[in-house]
Amino acid sequence: MNLKKGPAAGYNLRPASLITGLSSPVFFNPNETLPVSVSGEKCSLDCAHCQGHFLKTMTPLIEAGGKNPDKIKSFLVSGGCDREGRVYLPAEEDLPNLASKGRLNFHVTLIDDEQLTQIIPWAHTVSQDLHGDDRVIREVLGLEKSFTDYWASYKRVWSRARVIPHILIGLGGEEFKGEKRVVKLLENYPPPAVIFLVYLPLVKSPLIPKKPPSLNKVIDFLGWARLRLEGIPLVMGCMRPGGRYRLELDKQVLNLGFSGLVQPSCSAQSPILSKECCALWDW
């Protein structure tokens, strides 16, 4: 793969069609992808950011086969984390059966060589969270780790599988230092696409912001990221605030030339529609 060295000069709000070859952005309403938690509601971290909230919305792995089998085409396989920040993964003997029912997108954080070897034969995509702020990693996620560990994990997957990084905007405040750190490094290890999320307070903790980041600052950051990640499809993912914030954000990311939008709150001219997870699209 040819590594990009930086954005071309003069890049300015290129339409998504020039990046993806698609005539319109892709709108995702992923009701044909079933989110599956390998660990049920269990998470050894119980971190300040989530405290198990997201696991409660997922289907336990043991029940996945019986959930509308005619309507489910793919699975988002995730779960809670162990104390090392590694997402629990299915037992090796469970993977062939799950893969026979649909494509698998493994959403992970830190992952070691053994885990990666286990899932690669069955993974259509590996979605990976990238946190660039060491304070967030230590204090909010409760890990004795740093961005170096996350970046090493990303490069490990990048060298062996189709990986789609996820960048959560605003968990560490509104300076976005960690987010910018991630974007800069992705320039030289470009993925098929990048998915952005916007921090949404769902639990109460003194370690995390009490409200989402400023909409204007988020839009400015996304415009900067669009410049840096020239030629890479960008997607606004499912996690972001609602109401007017969401409506304005969705309009602005389309104006910035984003290629995909999950559960859109606005319209676009003749959007391409998908009923599966945005990471599973053929970027």
HSE, CB side, 13 Å, CA atoms: give it for residue 110.
20
How many Å apart are CA 74 and CA 56, to the nearest integer? Answer: 19
Over residues 12-17, the mean pLDDT reads 50
Q: 271 is in which domain, residue-wise? A: 16-280
Least confident of 93-97, 102-106, 142-146, 200-204: 200-204
* 191 strand-pairing partners: none
84, 57 contact by CB (below 8 A): no
Q: Quick one: which of 281, 255, 278 has its CA closest to 268?
A: 255
261, 26 contact by CB (below 8 A): yes
* pLDDT tens-digit series, residues 183-222: 999 999 999 999 999 998 876 666 677 899 999 999 999 9
7, part of any domain:
no
How many Å apart are CA 262 and CA 217, to the nearest integer? Answer: 21
pTM equals 0.89
Residue 272 CA: distances (Å) to CA of 127, 222, 239, 259: 22, 22, 20, 10
Strands (E), 101-259: 103-108, 125-129, 163-169, 194-198, 234-236
* End-to-end CA separation in angstroms for the chain: 15
Least confident of 102-116, 156-170, 190-204: 190-204
5, part of any domain:
no
Scan for tokens 């960008």, then name that residue. Answer: 234
The mean pLDDT value of the chain amounts to 86
For the ranges 44-58, 130-144, 152-166, the one whose mean pLDDT is highest: 152-166
* Helices vs. strands in the chain: H and E counts, helices first: 8, 11
Q: Residue 80: its pLDDT value, please?
A: 80
- For residue 92, what pLDDT band results from cuts at 50, 70 and 90? confident
1, part of any domain:
no
- For residue 7, what pLDDT band results from cuts at 50, 70 and 90? very low
6, part of any domain:
no
144, part of any domain:
yes
CA trace torsion 167, 171, 173, 178 (10° rounding) = -40
Least confident of 62-71, 74-83, 153-162: 62-71
Q: Residue 55: its pLDDT value, please?
A: 64
What angle (nearest 5°) sits at the alpha carbon of residue 137, between those of residues 6 and 220?
A: 45
How many Å apart are CA 223 and CA 225, to the nearest integer? Answer: 5
What angle (nearest 5°) sits at the alpha carbon of residue 58, between those of residues 53 and 61?
A: 130
* pLDDT tens-digit series, residues 245-268: 999 999 999 999 999 999 999 998
Over residues 106-110, the mean pLDDT reads 94
8, part of any domain:
no
Overall number of domains in the chain:
1
CATH of the domain at 74: 3.20.20.70
Least confident of 59-63, 70-74, 244-248: 59-63
Least confident of 142-146, 167-171, 215-219: 142-146
What angle (nearest 5°) sits at the alpha carbon of residue 263, between those of residues 258 and 265?
A: 80
Q: Residue 205: its pLDDT value, please?
A: 64
Q: Residue 62: its pLDDT value, please?
A: 80
HSE, CB side, 13 Å, CA atoms: give it for residue 70.
0
- 5 pLDDT above the threshold of 60: no
